């Protein structure tokens, strides 16, 4: 562990201090290592990590908001006895087998693991056992579960954030960024130990292990259908023909962004898509007269945008998207009182009962059971069900609820549904 670097100036000052001051963690204890970016360096790093002991601290930096992909542009690894490894996976993406052989059998410690695991899996790196410190904080009932907040609360150190939203695809990476990246894995193993003690004291360690395994095996999230409908201010458009134009422009932008690995918003902002769909320009000159489309970035794609608008303009009426997306599950809960008052009553009661359970066990409601599962249960519930507990457990299991969630939330939901 790091030694505190500050102390009160006098006994009087010490006596008046009511709360301990977190110690700023400004640099890694072993310094910032050189970035691993060659096959030989990968082999050396793999050997060092294989010779270490205990769990492996893992983090990855992406370029969200700058790049289309969720790939990792820097991977940070740390293990007792091996020190910290900063890996640039881009130049050695196909040559990480020695590293995978060394670290894949280990327990990995990550913070918000679901954010990083897909990008790590892309380069063949997958844990055999997982510990997620962010999720551990949620299950422990911590109000603030960011890495800096949990580290300060449990270990007494201040992690100063600052480069998490940076463009990590930039090369070379600035020294300050590398220092920040190394610090992100500096205390993860110590944090894991503290959270194990916290969870064990609350009799929640087995709950956490179930959650960690669920995340480890979950894989990347499935793309949502009709993602173009999430275009900002799309609801301001009045006709289905205009919606078709938004869809065509959105898909054209998506294709360009994917090919160039650039964030779609940097290719064309949503506001420009809505503007063009509403005004429907029919020539390059008219298109370029609109805001944004006359800029140097967009001018090269003028024919692409114009072609997208033309394709929407010539669609048959049967091919136009509906004004509202088709409903594949329960409608929005705000409409239940009008369309099915009994279902609305069930949902209100279920939410109240789960809120009481959440307070009793100090776990957020959304971690007790998926809100979507609760809505589905309440909407589809058959009041004639003879064994509410069995039906609820079957639905929760089919929906991916873990054993601890079914044990805790299942009886609560079954009672509410049976009573209503």
Task: Give me the DSSP letters along 315-341.
Answer: --GGGSPPSSPPP-S---GGGHHHH-H
| Beta-strand relationship, 83-87 and 74-80 | antiparallel
Give the pLDDT of residue 11: 38
Give the pLDDT of residue 402: 98
Give the pLDDT of residue 317: 96
CA distance 354 to 199: 21
CA distance 133 to 149: 11
Give me the torsion for CA of 201, 116, 121, 47, rounded to 10°: -70
CA distance 37 to 88: 5
Contact between 336 and 347 under an 8 Å Cβ cutoff? The reply is yes
> Above 90 in pLDDT, residue 145?
yes
Mean pLDDT (whole number) for 180-196 = 97
- Scan for tokens 């793999």, then name that residue: 46
Contact between 332 and 313 under an 8 Å Cβ cutoff? The reply is no
pLDDT band at 19 (very low <50, low <70, confident <90, very high): low
Q: pLDDT tens-digit profile of 287-306?
A: 999 999 999 888 999 999 99
CATH number (1.20.1540.10, 3.30.420.10, 3.40.50.720, 3.30.565.10) of 11-218 reads: 3.30.420.10
Predicted structure pTM score: 0.89
For 81, the 3-state DSSP assignment is coil
Domain boundaries, the chain: 11-218, 227-319, 333-419
If one compares 224 and 253, the residue with the highest pLDDT of the two is 253
Give the pLDDT of residue 222: 84
Per-residue H/E/C for 206-242: HHHHHHHHHHHHHCCCCCCCCHHHHCCCHHHCCCHHH
> Above 50 in pLDDT, residue 263?
yes
User: Token pair for residue 19?
Assistant: 């709360």
Give the pLDDT of residue 71: 93
Mean pLDDT (whole number) for 333-351 = 95
> Above 80 in pLDDT, residue 283?
yes
Helices (H) and strands (E) in the chain, counts: 21, 8
Give the pLDDT of residue 164: 84
DSSP-derived letter for residue 183 is: H
pLDDT band at 327 (very low <50, low <70, confident <90, very high): confident
Backbone angles phi, psi at 112, to 5 degrees: 60, 60
The count of other CB atoms within 10 Å of the CB of residue 219 is 11
CA distance 24 to 148: 11
Contacting residues for 270 by C-beta, under 8 A, at least 6 apart: 231, 232, 233
> Above 50 in pLDDT, residue 3?
no
The mean of the pLDDT values for the chain is: 93
Same fold, 227-319 and 333-419: yes
> Above 60 in pLDDT, residue 41?
yes
User: Token pair for residue 213?
Assistant: 């395994």
pLDDT band at 274 (very low <50, low <70, confident <90, very high): very high
Q: pLDDT tens-digit profile of 373-420?
A: 999 999 999 988 889 999 999 999 999 999 999 999 999 999 999 998
Lowest mean pLDDT among 70-84, 154-168, 184-198: 154-168
Give the pLDDT of residue 5: 37
> Above 90 in pLDDT, residue 83?
yes
pLDDT band at 230 (very low <50, low <70, confident <90, very high): very high
Mean pLDDT (whole number) for 246-263 = 97
Domain 227-319: CATH superfamily, name plus number: HRDC domain (1.10.150.80)
Work out the burial of residue 415: count CB atoms within 10 Å of its CB; fewer than 13 is exposed, 13-18 middle, 19 or more buried.
Answer: middle
Backbone angles phi, psi at 56, to 5 degrees: -110, 125
CA distance 245 to 257: 18
Backbone angles phi, psi at 43, to 5 degrees: -65, -40
Domain 333-419: CATH superfamily, name plus number: HRDC domain (1.10.150.80)
Percent of the chain with pLDDT over 90: 86
DSSP-derived letter for residue 243 is: H
Contact between 343 and 376 under an 8 Å Cβ cutoff? The reply is no
If one compares 409 and 6, the residue with the highest pLDDT of the two is 409
């Amino acid at each position: 562990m790091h030694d505190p670097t500050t102390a009160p100036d006098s006994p009087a000052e010490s006596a008046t201090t009511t709360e301990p001051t977190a110690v700023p963690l400004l640099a890694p204890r072993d310094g910032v290592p050189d970035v691993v970016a060659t096959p030989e360096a990968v082999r050396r790093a793999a050997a060092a990590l294989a010779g270490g002991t205990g769990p492996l601290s893992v983090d990855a930096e992406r370029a969200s908001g700058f790049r289309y992909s969720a790939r990792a542009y820097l991977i940070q690894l740390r293990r007792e006895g091996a020190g910290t490894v900063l890996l640039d996976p881009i130049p050695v993406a196909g040559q990480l087998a020695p590293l995978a052989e060394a670290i894949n059998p280990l327990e990995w410690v990550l913070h918000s693991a679901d954010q990083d695991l897909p990008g790590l899996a892309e380069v063949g790196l997958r844990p055999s056992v997982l510990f997620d410190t962010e999720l551990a904080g949620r299950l422990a009932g911590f109000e603030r579960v960011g890495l800096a907040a949990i580290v300060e609360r449990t270990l007494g150190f201040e992690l100063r954030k600052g480069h998490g939203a940076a463009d990590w695809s930039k090369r070379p990476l600035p020294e300050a960024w590398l220092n920040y990246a190394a610090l992100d894995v500096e205390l993860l193993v110590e944090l894991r130990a503290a959270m194990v003690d916290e969870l064990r004291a609350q009799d929640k360690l087995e709950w956490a292990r179930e959650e960690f395994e669920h995340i480890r095996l979950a894989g990347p999230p499935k793309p949502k259908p009709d993602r173009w409908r999430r275009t900002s201010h799309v609801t301001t458009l009045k006709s289905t023909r205009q919606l078709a134009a938004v869809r065509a422009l959105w898909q054209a932008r998506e294709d360009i962004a994917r090919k160039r690995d650039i964030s779609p918003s940097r290719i064309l902002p949503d506001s420009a898509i809505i503007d063009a769909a509403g005004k429907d320009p029919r020539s390059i000159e008219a298109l370029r007269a609109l805001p944004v489309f006359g800029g140097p970035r967009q001018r090269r794609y003028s024919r692409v945008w114009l072609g997208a608008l033309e394709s929407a303009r010539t669609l048959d009426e049967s091919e136009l998207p509906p004004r509202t997306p088709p409903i594949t599950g329960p409608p929005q809960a705000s409409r239940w009182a009008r369309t099915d008052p009994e279902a609305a009553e069930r949902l209100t009661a279920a939410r109240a009962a789960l809120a009481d359970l959440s307070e009793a066990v100090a776990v957020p409601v959304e971690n007790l059971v998926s809100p979507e599962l609760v809505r589905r249960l309440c909407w589809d519930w058959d009041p004639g069900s003879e064994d509410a507990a069995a039906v609820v457990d079957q639905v929760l299991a089919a929906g991916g609820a873990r054993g601890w969630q079914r044990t805790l939330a299942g009886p609560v939901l079954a009672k509410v549904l049976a009573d209503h």
